A and B are shown apart, each in its own frame.
Chain A
Amino acid sequence: MNIDKNARYRTSHEYARKDGADIVAGISDHAQGALGDIVFVELPEVGKTLKQGEAFGVVESVKAASDLYMPMSGKIVAVNEDLAGDPALVNKDCYGKGWMIKFSPANPSEWDGLLDAAAYEKEAGKE
């Protein structure tokens, strides 16, 4: 299992990573592996405000659709437009080119409530 040590995680397998004052989010390597080939990613509109735990989009693999949840509350400042043409980037490089959204956190202290890499690795290992 490939884990981005600089990121924090939800038990539903989204990651959040600080990028200056903003947060970049996507799904973990464990999640992309479990989903299999990803064929479509639906992302929110830039400017949308979402609460922690609210669905920000949908990831569709060959066989199933899964909701994507905000790791923290915030306002969407960018989405990864490349996923429209090549959703498999999530399979190939989930922490890099397969990122999904960038948001400006409304409540930065929510970061502290997310799982750190070690805790997430333990959590994902149970599945």
Chain B
Amino acid sequence: MAPFAGYDMPISYPTGAVEEHNITRRSVGLFDIDHMGQVEVSGPGADDFVSRTVSAKVLDMQDWDARYSLLLDEKGLVLDDLFIYRLPGKWWIVVNASNREADYAWFKKLAPAGVKVVDKSEETYMIAVQGPRAIELMDLVSDRKVSDFPRFTSGELKIEGIPVLFGRTGYTGEDGGELFFPADSAERLWKLLIERGEKAGIETKAIGLAARDSLRFEAGMPLHGHEISPSINPIEAGFKWACGLEKDFTGKAAVEAVMAAGPSRKLVGIEVTGGVPREGYELLSETGEKIGACVAGMFCPTVKKYAANAFVLPAYAKAGTKVQVLIHGKAKEAVVVKRPLYVPAYRR
């Protein structure tokens, strides 16, 4: 167990981190992610408020749509990343555990009179069900066919009487979904999913934080505090696509200024030979000048590479560029590669 954002979380279960990663890629992984926060926004003016507060375009979303967004401050720096659900008459915003209180305070501060912002995190439990057989398992246990839900949509269903909001989303690069439901049913639903999965011959296992990290890393998804943070702007991190530049939102002017001037550094993926790159390790050019640093790095079980994400001077950002990483004081050969290392199943 390890402390993570104020929660005691399993780094890995007895299965082991690498095997947990592999199970999620071949069958079904269950993720206890109750540490994530949920904020509900409703009332007159809620639509405009959400649109002005988050980076992504949201007003074109239909009821039950789900979309990724950033939350920026006025300087265009990334306070958090969000998953936003448009539900009938309200918005359901999923925030990171470590930013939950700050995000909630930020929403409250910006919300005009009439807009209700409620932190629903305590009463809501959250589990992710991910993997190539995740939807098969969900169809088996729920009263609705979630296989009919398109990617990035959601719906309400029941699993043995437990009311669940199911979003066909995730953080692994696999098909599957994220479940929101009353916290007092958490243990029952968790056990039920494992039991029903195993009974149907669908390998279903609990997955810890280490595998969650390697799965998201391979699939090119950011982790707040690493690829994005309050000292990183969306342009240098490659998140222009998550900014709805045709609308007005907090931080937009700063984002446009970075676009006009060009970013001073860029997020890249690198593959390393002869060592494991990790957060904080320095990047050098072939001739030994310091050109950046790693923000995350690890062994990637599916692609079987030692890889890192790093911010580098733009001149070194092109795929194929040879660089070096300082690992335990020794310069190791590395090469800039295209991200993601593992193309998500739903994008193939």
Binds B, one of A56-64, A95-103, A107-115: A56-64
B314 to chain A, nearest CB (A): 30
Q: Which listed residue (B12, B19, B210, B275) contacts A40, Cβ 8 A?
A: B275
A residues with a Cβ closer than 8 A to B are 36-37, 39-40, 42, 58, 60, 62-63, 65, 88
B11 in contact with A42 (CB, 8 Å): no
B16 in contact with A36 (CB, 8 Å): yes
A37 in contact with B306 (CB, 8 Å): no
Query: Which residues from 268 to 283 on chain B have a C-beta closer than 8 Å to any C-beta of chain A?
Result: 274-276, 278
A62 in contact with B275 (CB, 8 Å): no
Q: Binary interface profile of B, 84-106, with partner A (CB < 8 Å = 1, else 0)? A: 00000000000000000000000
B16 in contact with A39 (CB, 8 Å): no
A117 to B306 alpha-carbon distance, docked (Å)? 36
B276 in contact with A40 (CB, 8 Å): yes
Whether A62 touches B17, Cβ cut-off 8 Å, given contacts A36-B12, A40-B306, is yes
Whether A65 touches B214, Cβ cut-off 8 Å, given contacts A37-B16, A60-B299, is no
B191 within 8 A of A: no
B82 within 8 A of A: no
Chain B: CB-nearest residue to A91? B16
Contacts A40-B276, A65-B328 supplied; 7 other A-B pairs, CB < 8 Å: A36-B12, A40-B299, A42-B328, A60-B275, A62-B210, A62-B298, A62-B299
B39 within 8 A of A: no
A-B pairs with beta carbons under 8 Å apart, 23 shown? A36-B11, A36-B16, A36-B17, A36-B210, A37-B12, A39-B298, A39-B306, A42-B274, A42-B275, A42-B328, A60-B275, A62-B12, A62-B17, A62-B18, A62-B210, A62-B214, A62-B298, A62-B299, A63-B17, A63-B210, A65-B276, A65-B278, A88-B18
A37 to chain B, nearest CB (A): 4
Q: Binary interface profile of B, 8-45, with partner A (CB < 8 Å = 1, else 0)? A: 00011000111100000000000000000000000000
A60 to B16 alpha-carbon distance, docked (Å)? 15
A36 to B19 alpha-carbon distance, docked (Å)? 11
- For B17, the chain A residues whose CB sits under 8 A away are 36-37, 62-63
A63 to B211 alpha-carbon distance, docked (Å)? 10
Most buried by B among A39, A62, A63, A88: A62
B185 to chain A, nearest CB (A): 31
B18 in contact with A63 (CB, 8 Å): no
- For A37, the chain B residues whose CB sits under 8 A away are 12, 16-19
B276 in contact with A39 (CB, 8 Å): yes
